[in-house]
């Protein structure tokens, strides 16, 4: 087992966010747009990373938040504001509908001054960036690559960037996400790469947790000093531990775990839950 520490790549544009955003930012800089907008929850790693990346590239940014105007600002949203992001609160019940309307309008009106990115960087451009994760160093000797899955953008990129001998495994962090496989398939170019999703490690659904999850995260910190988050990478490490116990991986195989970065979700936890 080896862990690719994308969380150490950049302190703010953490982990896979750097890769998923790189070509979006490049496209905006070559367009007529001067504002970049996207979507996320109150503890969104994606929105914080986008706010910083936009500021660095002298672009304005807007975050459409899955929350209500009258709710207290989370530390993550405060950080996004500090990087110059304007926030629009569109609630929870109409979030998906409003998001889809804005994205469709953006497709119809190509010369808008605002460039929209789907939630989590989902899309062919995001997957193109995620495919370059495997070029950080030589990863061709690994038989299996495993990562956490939110929108599936990174997983699709890993599938597209994989060597011929590699299998890609995703650990979805959402419950009952029946359309996820189709959404990933829509971004896959490398049809020969075998890939699969293991749906049994979501701990109840998005941002849901369990005592066993926190124990796993704390044990990893105590033994390796590697921080994980409650939403994505904690569940990934928990899954890997369970898969080892059940002899899921082939004997003598080399497994690469992708640490996709982003610890914003931990800010919602009571002090003392995690030891790091």
| 67 falls within a domain | yes
Q: Does position 12 have pLDDT exceeding 80, yes or no? A: yes
On whether both 135 and 55 belong to a single domain, the answer is: no
93 and 151 housed in the same domain: no
Is pLDDT of 60 > 90? yes
Beta strands 167-172 and 144-149 are: parallel
Give the range among 4-13, 86-95, 98-107, 216-225 with minimum mean pLDDT. Answer: 98-107
pLDDT the model gives residue 110: 63
The answer to whether residue 158 is domain-embedded is yes
In a domain, 126, yes or no: no
274 inside domain = no
Q: Say which CATH number the domain at 82 has.
A: 3.40.50.1100
Reply yes or no on whether the pLDDT at 144 is more than 80.
Answer: yes
Q: What is the pLDDT of residues 255-276, one digit of tens each?
A: 999 999 999 999 999 999 999 9
| pLDDT tops 70 at residue 1 | yes
Is position 184 within any domain?
yes
Number of domains in the chain: 2
For 115-134, the pLDDT digits (tens) are 999 999 999 999 999 999 99
Q: What is the C-alpha radius of gyration for the chain, rounded to an integer number of angstroms?
A: 18
User: Does 273 reside within a domain?
Assistant: no
Does one domain contain both 198 and 251?
yes
Domain shared by 191 and 260, yes or no = yes
Residue 180 sits in the same domain as residue 250: yes
* Residue with the two structure tokens 């800010």: 267
Whether residues 201 and 249 share a domain: the answer is: yes
Q: Rounded mean pLDDT of the chain?
A: 96
Burial zone of 123 (CB within 10 Å; 0-12 exposed, 13-18 middle, 19+ buried): buried
Whether the predicted pLDDT of 108 surpasses 90: no
Pair (136, 194) in one structural domain: yes
Q: Are residues 105 and 142 in the same domain?
A: no
Does residue 52 surpass a pLDDT of 70? yes
**109 pLDDT higher than 80:** no
Parent domain of 255: 2-9+131-268
């Amino acid at each position: 087992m080896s862990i690719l520490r994308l969380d150490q790549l950049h302190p703010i544009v953490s982990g896979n966010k750097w890769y998923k955003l790189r070509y979006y930012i490049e496209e905006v800089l070559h367009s007529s747009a001067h504002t970049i907008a996207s979507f996320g929850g109150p503890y969104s790693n994606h929105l914080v990373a986008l706010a910083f990346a936009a500021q660095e590239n002298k672009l304005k940014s807007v975050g459409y938040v899955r929350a209500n105007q009258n709710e207290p600002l989370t530390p993550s949203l405060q950080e996004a504001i500090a990087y110059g992001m304007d926030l629009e609160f569109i609630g929870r019940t109409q979030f998906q509908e409003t998001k889809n309307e804005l994205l469709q309008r953006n497709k119809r009106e190509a010369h808008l001054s605002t460039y929209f990115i789907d939630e989590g960087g989902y899309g062919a451009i995001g997957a193109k960036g995620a495919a370059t994760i495997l070029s950080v160093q030589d990863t061709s000797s690994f038989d299996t690559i495993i990562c956490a899955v939110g929108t599936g953008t990174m997983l699709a990129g890993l599938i597209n960037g994989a060597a011929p001998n590699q299998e890609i495994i995703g650990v979805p962090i959402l419950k009952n996400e029946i359309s996820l496989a189709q959404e990933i398939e829509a971004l896959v170019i490398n049809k020969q790469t075998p890939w699969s999703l293991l749906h049994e490690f979501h701990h109840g659904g998005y941002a849901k947790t369990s005592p066993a999850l926190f124990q796993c995260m704390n044990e990893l910190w105590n033994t390796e000093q590697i921080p994980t988050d409650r939403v994505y990478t904690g569940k990934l490490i928990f899954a890997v531990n369970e898969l080892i116990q059940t002899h899921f991986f082939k004997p003598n195989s080399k497994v690469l775990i992708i640490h996709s970065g982003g610890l914003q979700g931990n800010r919602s936890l009571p002090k003392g839950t995690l030891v790091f």
